[in-house]
Amino acid sequence: MRRITFAVVSTIAAIVLLFSYRTSRVPVETTAATAGGAQAGVVTGQQQAKPPAGASPDPTASAPPQGGQQASKDVTVNGNAVQTEQGPVQVQVKISGGKIVDVTAIQRPSGDQRHDEISAFSIPKLRAQALAAQSAQIDGVSGATATSGGYKQSLQSALDAANFR
């Protein structure tokens, strides 16, 4: 009788523990910046007006570009830090001559071996996709869904802050 009682109580305890197990540690949400992270939307660099066709450039001119003139922006922008299930993702975008020339992950999921492996595998692929697409419309990386989503959101916020197309 004691064995049956012990078996029933053990089974019930195991079932309760199984149903109370949580699979995700942190809810997915977008934050402006996390502790220790770089501030979002920081724009540095310079904006230079291109002279109209046929005109000689005047380095002392300070008038903003007009009508059909294009402005050449050389800026560095930090995107929002995006909190994913694996940890924060934040990118910094460098734009020169109206093109994305570099994307750097300034925050990425880390803290345990698995997150470090996923970040080391996915971040370079995400960077290459962003440079090829010249936008935040990238496919992402299979096996790194949360990191890819956070990367895309942070990249889009940086491009929005830079008024990039």
Residue 162 or 66, more confident: 162
pLDDT tens digits for range 125-153: 999 999 999 998 998 898 888 999 999 99
Q: Is residue 53 part of a domain?
A: no
Identify whether the C-beta of residue 80 lies closer than 8 Å to the C-beta of residue 40: yes
pTM: 0.60
Q: Is residue 85 part of a domain?
A: yes
CB atoms within 10 A of CB 40: 21
C-alpha closest to that of 61 among 48, 46, 45: 48
Q: What DSSP state is assigned to residue 109?
A: -
Residue 101 structural domain:
27-48+70-161
Which pLDDT belongs to residue 27? 41
Q: Is residue 96 part of a domain?
A: yes
Q: How far apart are CA 95 and CA 82, in angstroms?
A: 21
Q: Is residue 127 part of a domain?
A: yes
pLDDT tens digits for range 6-32: 999 999 988 888 877 765 444 434 333
Q: Is residue 132 part of a domain?
A: yes
Which pLDDT belongs to residue 58? 41
Angle among Cα 148, 152, 158 to the nearest 5 degrees reads 145
Instruction: Please name the residue that has the structure tokens 């802050």.
Output: 161
Q: What is the DSSP string of 60-72?
A: T--PPP-TTPPEE
CATH code of the domain covering residue 96: 3.90.1010
Q: How far apart are CA 99 and CA 159, in angstroms?
A: 11
Q: Is residue 55 part of a domain?
A: no
Q: How far, in Å, are 52, 64, 117, 127, 163 from residue 70 at the CA level?
A: 9, 10, 42, 27, 13
